A and B are shown apart, each in its own frame.
Chain A
Amino acid sequence: MYAFDFVKPATLADAVTALGQDGAMPLSGGQTLLPTMKQRLNSPETLVSLTGITDLKGVRREGDALVIGAATTHAEVARDAAGDYPGLAALAGQIGDPAVRSRGTLGGSIANNDPSACYPAAVLGSGATIITNMREISAGDFFQGMFATALEEGEIITAIRFPIPERSAYAKFHQPASRFALTGAFVAQYAGGVHVAITGASESGVFRWSEAEAALSGNFSPDALNGLSVPAKGMIGDLHGTPEYRAHLAGVMTRRAVAAAS
């Protein structure tokens, strides 16, 4: 890694000030950012750690929603969201491995928007709201393609508000080396209909599979998806799988998620 200055503010206001400097970058759990800095793919002049800000941590119930602080670790979500939103907690408990889950955070994952990350599927599939120090952003507007989000310079995610579904599940086909999703499907049933979000498959990052949503809103069963498939065009092709393979997996994982949630 190239040398950099490190600061760890205790308040959001101090973090915003520190991030106002040229070359400053926020650091959350560091499970993605630090490896990329070692490869010199990223070289901030100053790293501003967000994990010392207690206001950014914790899981709390607010009416029909679960509000999770952006610096809450995957391990904490897996434990503390299990009662209110078990589908989300189960997803958090499958990210990486236990050591990664001790450090990696919800906000860090969402801000990075890796096309194969798990959390974007839950955030989009829940129709969640991303709360920042400046505004609130709907999940549909937040994710803007591979590694791209609506966040602006100096904008910090403070929390995510997840409407709690009637039932939900995440089915992940692990890429065994990275433990990311080769393809994963998050399915959530709400009073207003079913959401299906697919991660790991598309070159545009996480997306909602609207055909499946329509079919499942009428009949929440794996059979409702018979005859439906995701087009291979625009899916990721790499040494781990072809676009056709990932498109196929999207269907299989959605069926498995529906079966698990039923």
Chain B
Amino acid sequence: MNKISMTVNGKSVSADAEGRTLLSTYLRDGLGLTGTHVGCDTSQCGACVVHVDGQVVKSCSVLAMDVAGADIRTIEGVAAPDGTLSTLQQAFQDHHGLQCGFCTPGMIMSAAALLEENPKPSEAEIRHYLEGNICRCTGYHNIIKAVMAASGQDVSDMGTIAAE
């Protein structure tokens, strides 16, 4: 066991890790940040997406020791400290962009990275960027709509799939 330090959501943290400790395990078991979900553990589903030095990564496919010292942002670092949701999180709620919510942390982290790179993405660009995030409930449409809305675009012609 080694003590591994990094910056997570702006705070310096440290916890034990072995060579084989995944970043997702380090965050969840080492730091108690269980908002990062592990869906498939095979890097397919994207529920575990976090930002490492500003880049999206699947935390189940990165070793904690390989990102020692890095600046990590997880879903816990997205809302304001008083619990006020970010624009993107609020848009997911407003547009029914989640049902069970399991994939949502990864969806939010991926979509947040997209909007930092491309503040007004087209629907096609959003679908392409979220290719590595799998949702088994929503059919994706409302997720795309939420990201469109969060980027300040008119979504009135996108319809609604979920029951209102």
The residue on A at minimum CB distance from B64 is: A6
Interface residues of B in 67-114 (CB under 8 A from A): 110, 113-114
Q: Contact check: which of A3, A34, A51 meets B18 at CB < 8 Å?
A: A3
Interface with B: A54-62, A98-106, A127-135, A222-230, which one?
A: A98-106
B131 contacts which of A35, A38, A97 (Cβ < 8 Å)? A97
B129 contact set on A, CB distance < 8 A: 98
Q: Does A153 contact B (CB under 8 A)?
A: no
Q: Which residues of B contact A96 (CB under 8 A)?
A: 132
A98, closest chain B residue (CB): B56
Q: Which residue in B19, B41, B65, B132 is a CB contact (below 8 Å) of A100?
A: B132
Given contacts A31-B61, A35-B42, A75-B55, contact A98 B113 (CB under 8 A): yes
On chain B, the residues within 8 Å of A1 by CB distance are: 20
Which A residues are closer than 8 A to B by beta carbons? Answer: 1-6, 8, 27, 30-31, 34-35, 37-38, 47, 49, 51, 75, 96-100, 102-103, 177, 179
Q: A31-B61, A51-B66, A98-B110 are in contact. Are A6 and B56 (CB under 8 A)?
A: no
Interface 1/0 per residue, B100-138 and A, CB below 8 Å: 000000000010011000000000000001011100000
With both chains docked as a complex, state the minimum distance between the C-beta of B118 and any C-beta of chain A, in angstroms: 11
B66 touches A8 (CB 8 A): yes
B57 touching A99, Cβ below 8 Å? yes
Task: Tell me, in angstroms, the Cα distance from A49 to B65 when the chains sit together.
Answer: 10
B19 and A47 within 8 A (CB): yes
Q: Which residues 2-46 in B have Cβ within 8 Å of A in the complex?
A: 18-20, 22, 41-44, 46
With A38-B42, A99-B46, A99-B132: A27-B66 Cβ-Cβ less than 8 Å: yes
Query: B62 near A: Cβ within 8 Å?
Result: yes
Q: Is B58 an interface residue (CB 8 A)?
A: yes
B57 touches A4 (CB 8 A): no
Residues of B within 8 A of A (CB): 18-20, 22, 41-44, 46, 49, 52, 55-58, 61-63, 65-66, 110, 113-114, 129, 131-133
A-B contact pairs, 13 of them (CB 8 A): A3-B18, A3-B19, A4-B19, A4-B20, A8-B65, A27-B66, A49-B66, A98-B56, A100-B58, A100-B132, A102-B56, A103-B57, A103-B61
User: What's the Cα separation between A139 and B63 when bound, in Å?
Assistant: 31
Of chain A, the residue at the smallest CB distance from B68 is: A8
Q: Which residues of B contact A97 (CB under 8 A)?
A: 46, 131-133
Query: With A and B bound together, what is the CA distance between A99 and B113 in angstroms?
Result: 10
What separation, in Å, do the CA atoms of A38 and B61 have in the docked complex?
A: 10
Q: Could you say which residues of chain A place their CB within 8 Å of the CB of B61?
A: 30-31, 34-35, 103
How many residue pairs between the two chains, A and B, have CB atoms under 8 Å in the bound complex? 74
A102 touches B57 (CB 8 A): yes
Give the residues in chain B near A99, CB-CB below 8 Å.
43, 46, 49, 56-58, 110, 132
* CB closest residue in chain A, given B54: A102
Could you say which residues of chain B place their CB within 8 Å of the CB of A34? 22, 43, 61-63
A27 contacts across to B, CB distance below 8 A: 63, 66
Give, as a whole number of angstroms, the nearest-CB distance from B59 to chain A. Answer: 9
Interchain CA distance A4-B113 in the complex, whole Å: 32
In the assembled complex, the Cα of A1 lies from the Cα of B63 at a distance in Å of 11
Q: Which of B42, B55, B56, B131 contacts A179 (CB 8 A)?
A: B131
User: Are B41 and A102 in touch, CB under 8 angstroms?
Assistant: no
Nearest neighbor of B43 in chain A, beta-carbon distance: A35
Nearest CB on A from B123, distance (A): 17
Given contacts A97-B46, A99-B46, contact A2 B132 (CB under 8 A): no
Closest A residue to B61 by CB, please name it.
A34
With A and B bound together, what is the CA distance between A38 and B81 in angstroms?
A: 36
A60 vs chain B, min Cβ distance (A) = 21
Residues of A within 8 A of B19 (CB): 3-6, 47
